[in-house]
Structure 1
Amino acid sequence: MADASSSAVPFDKSKMKLAAAALVQHGVYIGTSSWRYTGWRGMLYSDDRYQARGRFSQAQFNRLCLTEYAEVFKTVCVDSVYYKFPTRSEIESLVVQVPQDFLFALKVTDEITIKTYPGLPRFGLRGGKPNENFLNADLFGSAFLSACEPFKAHIGVFIFEFSQFHLSDFARGRDFVDALDKFLAALPAGWRYAVEIRNRTFLHPEYFAVLARHGVAHVYNSWTDMPPVSTQLTLPGNRTSRDFFVARFLLVPGRRYEDAVKMFSPYDRVREINPDGRATGAQLIKQTVAEQGRTKAFIYVNNRFEGNALETIDAMVEGAGLG
């Protein structure tokens, strides 16, 4: 890692707006993981748009800031629908704030992807119990996809994020792959699907082969217990969809989520540069541009990767020679 103190470059909103618009013409959709961060005030967001009674209104900001975000970027990864099934009106409330060429990546609600409910307060008495709806394709269709159907033109990709499994969930990676195979076969056609796993031992040829058979993308994800994205890109068979791919730079490998929050809040600047992550993001951008529209790239950066996702994206675009 590199210290950011001597190499910080202020985020240029106007420059990024032009770069993001140009990249979309080459199939590159790059944006952030979520968008409601007050640490971005003065960088991406203008306080005068969120005033109530002469002062900054957090409520107005939370409700309306996607509009200003979408004036610069062409995509965002929506985390909120991971925690509960969305309603049609909730999806519509997002869509009405963005232009016609804006695409959302939606993390599918964890009711579909959790094998055993964690012992967290939000799960209440279900904590520690098996999830009967794990990989329930019918429930995905009725409780999630149905809310998105009217807004298909704005849906870039659905991400099935699987938290790290324990031996009590799957004794072998092969067991997960078999279950995943059946689930993917039952999904409605006509949408982009991607799978994100958090067990590095599951990154084997059988896993990639199942995704490829269904035209589903592996999500190259930088996370605590996963190898770097640069390493995932070297694994045999890792490119499982010819039409698109997804990459998410979330946490530096080896770092826990809680530690990143403490280190980087309030996410108003980069505090630690990750040269490998930046170079990998730039590489993915360059490769997609070189493919001349044959592939769509969905690349997302989280504040907890370096401290400020806006500046990290800026560095990736610059590294690709397109900033």
Structure 2
Amino acid sequence: MAELWLGTSGWTYASWRGRFYPETLPSRDYLTFYAREFPTTEINYSFYHLPKPQTFVKWSQQVPPAFLFAVKASRFITHIKQLREVEEPWQTFVHNAAALGSHLGPILLQFPPSLKCDIPRLQAFLEMAGKAHPQPLRLACEFRHESWFAENVYRILERHNVALCIADSPKYPRRDLLTADFAYIRFHGRTALFASRYTKEELRREAQAIRRYLKDGHDVFVYFNNDAMGYAVENARMLRALLSRHVSLH
């Protein structure tokens, strides 16, 4: 049976104190508190700084057995090197993230809007990336330049079972298309990037698509990245309520 994993992008935000986290809760206990309500989170910190293996281990010890972390790949790989000559940094990244053990979920590759479609570069990277770990990795690509949304790109993603990230925002292109055996969805905010809440009607339409993906046998990972003012938590709860009568939730 296909499974739904619903959470937020990150869990440590000052604006969530008093809105989600109790005022008196120490920040060191945020993850444990978060994991009591949500079964997954997306680690954004790893985009800016690569955590050491022991940091990943520490996080894994603060969550329930079935909890999954999606991990955002280092910007050194996607933004600075832009997939060129990245075998060593990729292997280091995967090695460190693998310290999560059974808590390791998908790995997200978010590309800069300045990076245009380059088929040979993408193909070479995906062929290399799949060999970095003894177990198959679930990879998702979030493209932010229009040129990537093309049939030849979709075919490459399908060949490697890599998900095209369905990313909703007021700034970047969106395509609702599945290219892997799972769906990866990010909600950045509909009207203001990272800083707007979704309405119930907007999420009702999203819930219809998610139910369809699940019915067709695709696991679905959903992360709200509109973290300002606790909107991500509010909207994750709203979407969960819309889905709860129709699908099995973690």
1 CA distance for matches of 2:239 and 2:32?
A: 24
Q: Is the 8 A contact 2:188 2:224 kept in 1?
A: yes
2 CA distance for matches of 1:303 and 1:133?
A: 27
Residue 38 to residue 305, structure 1, CA distance change in 2 (3 Å): closer
Give the residue type in structure 2 aligned to 1:149.
A
1 CA distance for matches of 2:123 and 2:64?
A: 36
Whether 1:316 aligns to 2:242 is: no
Q: What RMSD over aligned residues (CA atoms) do the two structures have, in Å?
A: 2.6
Structure 1 residue 285 displacement after superposition: 3.3
Structure 1 residue 138 displacement after superposition: 3.0
Q: Structure 2 matches for 1:56-95, cutoff 5 A?
A: 60-61=26-27, 63-95=28-60
The runs of 5 or more residues in structure 2 that have no matched partner are: none
- Per-residue CA distance 1:137-160 (angstroms, 9 max, x = gap): 33201x211112232310110001
Whether 1:245 aligns to 2:191 is: no
Structure 1 stretch displaced more, 192-201 or 145-154: 145-154
Q: Structure 2 matches for 1:16-95, cutoff 5 A?
A: 26-48=2-24, 50=25, 60-61=26-27, 63-95=28-60
Q: Structure 2 matches for 1:206-217, cutoff 5 A?
A: 206-217=152-163
Find the structure with the greater CA-based Rg.
1
Query: Hey, what does 2:221 align to over in structure 1?
Result: 298
User: TM-score, normalization: structure 1?
Assistant: 0.67
Q: Is the 8 A contact 1:163 1:197 kept in 2?
A: yes
Q: Structure 2 matches for 1:174-253, cutoff 5 A?
A: 176-187=118-129, 188=131, 190-228=136-174, 232-233=175-176, 238-241=177-180, 243-252=181-190
Calculate percent identity across the aligned residue pairs: 25
SS in 2 for 1:159: strand
Give the residue type in structure 2 aligned to 1:66.
L
Query: Hey, what does 2:90 align to over in structure 1?
Result: 140
1 CA distance for matches of 2:160 and 2:63?
A: 30
Residue 161 to residue 274, structure 1, CA distance change in 2 (3 Å): farther
Instruction: Count residues with an aligned counterpart.
Output: 242
The runs of 5 or more residues in structure 1 that have no matched partner are: 1-24, 51-59, 116-130, 265-269
Query: Hey, what does 1:104 align to over in structure 2?
Result: 69
User: TM-score, normalization: structure 2?
Assistant: 0.85
Give the residue type in structure 2 aligned to 1:83.
Y
